[in-house]
Amino acid sequence: MHIHLNTVEAGGAGQVVTFSLVQNDRLHILHPQQIVAFRGSSNSRNDKFMNISGIVRKKKLIKSEISGPCQFVAALPPGFTMKEVELDEESDLLYDFRHLFFYSDGVTMHTKIQKIKNMLITQDAVKMKFSGKGKIGLLTQGQVCQQELHPTAPLYVDAGSIIAYPENAHLELTVYGNHLASQHMNYHWKMTGHGSVLFQAGRENSRLERDVNDEGLFKRILKEVIPFGNVLIK
């Protein structure tokens, strides 16, 4: 299986991803409406209803199972990119299911229930752990960044930007900085442990565009003056 990502967003047109499957390859596509071109036997595509948990978490009814040999093209909207991740037997990362674009045969998924406090803040009850050998594709806003965790020196990451983190990492929802800084930021994960954490770098792009282009002075002042105004005032 070969996946080619066109990372150039000419004129803000978005990213194009080309998939080439050989015999015995099979992918499960969770956003089949993004497939804009297909070459191969029509029997190579088999659409199915997702299970209840998939419908609730992805807000999608249908997924596609595509078998090789074939080639197809998926188009992503402006601001979105896809990261291909190769899994192995030692993979221990927990993922947000909402970011999953595809997974290959040989990959299995297990749910991990979050703590009640974390559920309320992140509005996400479970994380997914992928095991087995194969590939998954992650749909993100902006580029994907990867940082190594340290056992004692914490890494603070915007809670809404997290894509994946090690299962055994220690997490604490918090804010940081002085009093003014802590009032004008989203909740962050304070993370320590071993392994790498993945996060998306473009989640706040739309807010920055509004701040620069259209937002009035009075609204900007309210966001700065009111505690947590940057979070509460949209």
Q: What is the pLDDT of residues 116-148, one digit of tens each?
A: 766 665 566 678 888 888 899 998 887 888 899
Rg for the chain (alpha carbons), in Å? Answer: 20
Q: How does strand 196-200 pair with strand 162-166?
A: antiparallel
Percent of the chain with pLDDT over 90: 27
Supply the pLDDT for residue 59: 58
For residue 9, is pLDDT > 60?
A: no
**What local confidence, expressed as pLDDT, does residue 223 receive?**
63
Over the chain, what is the mean pLDDT?
80
Chain position carrying tokens 């940081």 = 176
CA distance 60 to 206: 24
Tell me which of 181-185, 196-200, 212-216 is least confident.
212-216
- Element spanning 28, H or E: strand 26-29
pLDDT class of 225 with cuts at 50, 70, 90: low
Over residues 141-167, the mean pLDDT reads 89
Is the pLDDT confidence value at 76 over 80?
yes
CB 93 within 8 A of CB 164: yes
User: Which whole number is the average pLDDT over 53-72?
Assistant: 77
**Contact of 50 with 61, CB cutoff 8 Å:** yes
**SS3 call for 153:** coil
Residue 10: the pLDDT is 45
Looking at per-residue confidence, does 6 or 30 come out higher? 30
Q: What is the pLDDT of residues 32-55, one digit of tens each?
A: 999 999 999 999 999 988 765 555
- Give the residue among 73, 82, 79 at the shortest CA–CA distance from 34: 73
How far, in Å, CA of 179 to CA of 182, rounded?
A: 5
The predicted pLDDT at position 47 comes to 92
Q: Count CB neighbours of 10 within 10 A.
A: 8
User: Which residues of 60-183 form beta strands (DSSP E)?
Assistant: 62-67, 70-75, 80-87, 93-95, 100-104, 107-113, 126-132, 134-141, 144-148, 155-158, 162-166, 170-174
| Whole-number pLDDT of residue 179 | 86
Q: Which of 203, 193, 130, 131 is nearest to 161 (CA)?
A: 203
Alpha helices, H only, the chain: 52-58, 116-122, 179-183, 205-213, 217-225, 229-232
